[in-house]
């Protein structure tokens, strides 16, 4: 299903929910109003909100238990956040400077930093589920940090909620702002920095799991020694009695070694772009199996030296790679040979005869057009698979995985899902931590810079209005810089 169709369906669902919500409220259906009140649901146009107090006691209990640990924990969050603050600010300044000086030719640094703030942009549609789950997890961890810190500082917690804006889940926490502002500045910092700190910790944990994933799954999966064939589409050209099978392990294509899924793509691309390979063949084999007839040139420039009957049983016309004039006098310039038998007994691949190091061997290549190639797929078990055609058809119809199960009952889906999820969480959680700490209106950075300025200027007899002016100026500049960069990245992605 196309992305646009899915978005239209989601939009229609939102509109339907809003329509029926309006009707039921207008008619004052008591059961419906009672349902909304007790579940904490609220339906708005293209938005669904859910607010609950069910977790308040548990969060307060967690925040009050082990008070020394939480004090050290959130103090560490303050230190890390204060360190990240100037780094993030300098990064935003540098990106803005690059935009003004270099224009469209700037590097991708700002895009990788700001992409988490642009939900759905440049994300493969088949991975949109990971994106939504990641946003929910990162948002919940962020708000849980604020809630635990507020409970630790004895700030009243009203409840937690989740807002689904179209398809994007956003968690939020409601605490008493009056009680928070009455705390000492150091205690306020613990609460305001807690969300960023939890995002940093979450990104660190996910990155650690990602780096150790190969070691963690080592008892069950092998990585780096070939790729695992997960699925083969019914229209795949490599299906057949001697073709590829699901659960095969591929380790080489022609002369290209395959250890990871990236190598699979690179090897097929290399097969498409490079000239056809030759094969080092013994002279005695050519003399024994040659069934050539006087060669003819087809309209596409391909030389044909085989009869239709010999072609039907798998013979191909091969030519000497240096050209017919280089063929030995006792051998024909073109030979009709059984392709599989010849390739299986060939000494090695070659681009010229001097690469055939054994005595009485010659370098022959198939006479094919520029699109058609011979692809020899080597697998751990079973005969090599020979494919004659356009190599891209193989890539389009086969799904492979880096994770090769050590036991037949295992499937690579589980490590793939967890690895990809850890990758998303690492990128998004770290990105959200950096973005949130920028001094910008409505972000944590606004309150953090406010507290820091008040804390620093409390030691000097400055006027309160001067402090507020400095805070407003820094926050406004941060908001302007962040907005410029976000709009720039958005335009680069959409245009």
Q: State pLDDT tens for residues 454-474.
A: 888 766 555 677 878 888 999
- In the predicted model, is pLDDT for residue 115 greater than 60? no
| Range in 9-23, 170-184, 388-402, 478-492 the model is least confident about | 478-492
Lowest mean pLDDT among 92-106, 122-136, 176-190: 92-106
Task: Say whether pLDDT at 119 is over 60.
Answer: no
What's the confidence (pLDDT) of residue 34? 83
Q: Which residues contact 106 (CB under 8 A, 6 or more apart)?
A: 95, 98, 99
**CB burial string 137-175: b at 16+ within 10 A, e below:** bbbbbbbbbbbbbbbbbebebebbbbbbeebebbbbbbb
What confidence category does residue 120 fall into, taking pLDDT thresholds of 50, 70 and 90?
very low
Residue 211 confidence (pLDDT): 94
User: Looking at residue 222, what is its pLDDT?
Assistant: 94
CA 400 to CA 236: how far, in whole Å? 14
Among the listed residues 301, 297, 281, 272, the one whose alpha carbon sits nearest the alpha carbon of residue 373:
272
Element containing residue 315 per DSSP (H, E): strand 315-320
**Is pLDDT at 198 greater than 50 in this prediction?**
yes
| pLDDT of residue 183 exceeding 70 | yes
- Give dist(CA 471, CA 369) in Å, integer: 70
Report the alpha-carbon distance of residue 404 to residue 248 in Å, rounded.
Answer: 9
Asked if the model's pLDDT at residue 135 lies above 50, the reply is yes
- Answer whether residue 106 shows pLDDT above 80: no
Q: What is the pTM of this model?
A: 0.80
**Least confident interval from 107-116, 118-127, 238-247, 483-492:** 107-116
DSSP-derived pairing of the beta strands 256-257 and 157-165: unpaired
Question: What's the confidence (pLDDT) of residue 244?
Answer: 92
pLDDT exceeds cutoff 70 at 110:
no
Query: Which residues lie closer than 8 Å to 488 by C-beta, 6 or more apart?
Result: 99, 110
How much is the mean pLDDT over the chain?
Answer: 85
């Amino acid at each position: 299903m196309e992305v646009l169709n899915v978005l239209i369906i989601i939009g229609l669902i939102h509109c339907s929910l809003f329509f029926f919500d309006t009707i039921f409220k207008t008619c004052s259906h008591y059961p419906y109003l009672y349902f909304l009140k007790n579940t904490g649901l609220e339906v708005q146009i293209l938005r669904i909100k859910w607010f609950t107090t069910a977790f308040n006691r548990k969060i307060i209990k967690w925040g009050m238990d082990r008070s020394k640990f939480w004090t050290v924990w959130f103090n560490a969050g303050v230190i890390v956040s204060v360190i990240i603050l100037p780094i993030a600010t300098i990064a935003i300044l540098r990106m803005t400077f690059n935009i003004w000086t270099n224009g469209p030719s700037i590097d991708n640094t700002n895009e990788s930093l700001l992409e988490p703030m642009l939900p759905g942009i440049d994300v493969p549609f088949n991975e949109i589920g990971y994106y939504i789950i990641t946003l929910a997890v990162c948002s919940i961890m962020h708000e849980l940090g604020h809630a635990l810190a507020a409970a630790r500082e004895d700030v009243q917690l009203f409840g937690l909620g989740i807002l689904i804006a179209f398809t994007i889940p956003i968690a939020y926490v409601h605490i008493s702002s009056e009680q928070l502002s009455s705390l000492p500045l150091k205690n306020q910092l613990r609460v305001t920095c807690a969300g960023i700190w939890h995002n940093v910790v979450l990104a660190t944990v996910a990155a650690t799991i990602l780096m150790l994933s190969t070691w963690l799954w080592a008892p069950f999966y092998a990585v780096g020694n070939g790729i695992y064939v997960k699925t083969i589409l019914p229209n795949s050209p490599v299906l057949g009695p001697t073709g590829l099978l699901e659960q095969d392990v591929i380790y080489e294509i022609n002369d290209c070694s395959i250890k990871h899924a990236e190598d699979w793509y690179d090897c097929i691309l290399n097969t498409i772009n490079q000239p056809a390979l030759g094969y080092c063949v013994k002279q005695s084999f050519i003399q024994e199996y040659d069934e050539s007839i006087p060669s003819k040139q087809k309209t596409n420039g391909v030389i044909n030296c085989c009869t239709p009957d010999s072609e039907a049983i798998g013979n191909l016309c091969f030519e000497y790679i240096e050209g017919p004039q280089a063929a030995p006098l006792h051998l024909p310039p073109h030979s009709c040979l059984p392709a599989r038998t010849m390739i299986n007994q060939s000494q090695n691949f070659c681009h010229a005869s001097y690469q055939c190091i054994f005595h009485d061997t010659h370098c022959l290549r198939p006479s094919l057009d520029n699109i058609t190639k011979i692809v020899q797929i080597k697998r751990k078990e079973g005969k090599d698979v020979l494919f004659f055609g356009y190599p891209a058809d193989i890539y389009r119809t086969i799904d492979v995985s880096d994770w090769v199960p050590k036991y037949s009952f295992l499937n690579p889906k589980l490590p793939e899902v967890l690895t990809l999820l850890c990758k998303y969480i690492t990128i998004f959680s770290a990105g959200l931590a950096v973005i949130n700490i920028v001094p910008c209106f409505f972000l944590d950075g606004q309150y953090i810079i406010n507290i820091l300025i008040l804390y620093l200027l409390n030691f000097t007899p400055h006027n309160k209005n001067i402090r507020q002016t400095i805070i407003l100026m820094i926050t406004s500049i941060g908001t302007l810089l962040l907005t410029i960069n976000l709009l720039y990245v958005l335009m680069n992605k959409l245009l």
